[in-house]
Structure 1
Amino acid sequence: MPEVIFNGPAGRIEGRFQPAKGRNAPIALILHPHPQFGGTMNNQVVYQLFYMFAKRGFAVLRFNFRGVGRSQGEFDHGGGELSDAAAALDWAQTIHPDARSCWIAGFSFGAWIGMQLLMRRPEIEGFISIAPPANLHDFSFLAPCPSSGLIIHGDVDKVVPQKDVQTLVDKLKTQKGIVIDQRIVEGANHFFENKVEELMGECETYVDRRLARVDAA
């Protein structure tokens, strides 16, 4: 898992990258929680997502948003962080130019950024959105949501109440041409304390099912 530094819009960005063995393997980009509340690329959920995709043969990149760790710049309330994510995907695609597709996985603030990137990059064909902060940020830009994906959250989340995530899911499920899977982890708070194993089990099941469909096609 080599450390990498690449150029972003606000200066250098620090990341960890696992190259894929196959030339046309898909890329996965993992986005961390809110930088001002301790979110980094070493968050346990982000770390586990990274290895989950790597085990399945993806080229995987996780990185620190601007102002976090050794990434330059300062927090930009989402606009700059979206640019950082776009630069990170650009960089991964230069390393794996033959990648057949891309996935994006984000946790909390990272889920909000990831869903915005999804709207801008048609090559993203799958997403995992963990505890998307639907009560704190406007998700109306998902009109329509261009890709199928998984939205997963805990039923005792005090930061993002379940009803707000449910409203978002219900809205997305009315759209044609995509399938939104929803999973609720019982007893999980916003940070999935003592529930990371259950969270990752749901994510693994979802990705494996999607990959099996691709292989069968």
Structure 2
Amino acid sequence: MSVHPDTLALNGHAGAVDCALDWPAQAPRGWALLLHPHPLYGGARGNKVVTTLARACTLAGLLAVRPDFRGVGRSGGTYDEGRGEADDMLGLPAQLLERFPELQGLPFVLGGFSFGSAVASQVEARADQAGLPPRVGVMLVGAAVERFEVARVPPDTLVVHGEQDDTIALASVLDWARPQDQPVVVIPDASHFFHGKLVPLRRVVENYLRLVLPAHAG
């Protein structure tokens, strides 16, 4: 039985940020911060797309950290349209590394789904200024470009979208990606929540992690 905790309360600007921790089978070779969809529409860290991302990360040897945003579960505060949520997320890495010093210097991956993808993009845009550890990978799934500001991302970012997404049109994601020359991985027949397509999604994420991790961790 693992001696690691499976939840951890960290501090945000509006109160506690309650996080689920998914540990790999062996000592972590890195860690990932994975952000969930819209809090006002049932989004939470247990969302099946987010847990699919977490599963891919743990299989790659990463500790997956899944926080609940403001007002969700045991996290304090109320929904703030992505602004306060990004502020909270920018403060988590330093706290996590203080709590688990064995993660210091290990690869860090940032990811999000839907609303969480918009927050992740804002965190990435402000990460260096905020003193976050370098990210070896960024993953945006179901990027909410029609509803929130999704910032430009590094050229090696993984962007995944469903062909039949009825919440955020694929065409809108391509319009966002085109000025950046950002590739988009399209999963055929997939809806916004990837019903029946979670296995292909996980495989795409696993392949991406294999590409970004080896140069940084053995």
TM range (shorter): 0.7 to 0.9
The CA RMSD measured in Å over matched residues stands at 2.0
| Contact kept in structure 2, 1:27 and 1:99, CA below 8 Å | no
CA distance in 2, matches of 1:215, 1:81: 30
CA distance in 2, matches of 1:9, 1:191: 30
Whether 1:200 and 2:208 are equivalent positions in the alignment is: no
Deviation at 1:89, TM superposition (A): 2.3
- SS at structure 2 position matched to 1:6: strand
Which of 94, 97, 107 does residue 101 from structure 1 map onto?
A: 107
Residue of structure 2 equivalent to 1:76? 80
CA distance in 1, matches of 2:55, 2:88: 22
Alignment of 1:52-201 (within 5 A): 52-94=56-98, 95-96=100-101, 98-122=104-128, 123-139=134-150, 141-142=151-152, 145-146=153-154, 148-173=156-181, 180-201=182-203
Q: Aligned partner of 1:48: which letter?
A: T
- SS at structure 2 position matched to 1:167: helix
| Contact kept in structure 2, 1:11 and 1:73, CA below 8 Å | yes
CA distance in 1, matches of 2:209, 2:34: 14
Residue of structure 2 equivalent to 1:31? 35
Q: Aligned partner of 2:157: which letter?
A: G
- SS at structure 1 position matched to 2:111: strand
What is the total number of aligned residue pairs between the two structures?
206
Deviation at 1:215, TM superposition (A): 5.7
Deviations 1:155-185 (A, max 9, x none): 1111111111011221221xxxxxx442101
CA distance in 2, matches of 1:44, 1:128: 16
Q: Aligned partner of 2:19: which letter?
A: G
- Same amino acid, percent of matched pairs: 27
CA distance in 2, matches of 1:107, 1:8: 20
| Contact kept in structure 2, 1:125 and 1:147, CA below 8 Å | no
Deviations 1:97-134 (A, max 9, x none): 52333111100000000011111113123111001011
CA distance in 2, matches of 1:184, 1:35: 25
Deviation at 1:22, TM superposition (A): 4.6
CA distance in 2, matches of 1:87, 1:215: 24
CA distance in 1, matches of 2:174, 2:156: 16
**Gap runs ≥5 in structure 2:** 129-133
| Contact kept in structure 2, 1:133 and 1:160, CA below 8 Å | yes
Q: Aligned partner of 1:136: which letter?
A: R
Deviation >6 Å, runs of 4+ = none
| Contact kept in structure 2, 1:64 and 1:71, CA below 8 Å | yes
Q: Aligned partner of 2:14: which letter?
A: A
CA distance in 1, matches of 2:20, 2:47: 13
- SS at structure 2 position matched to 1:60: strand
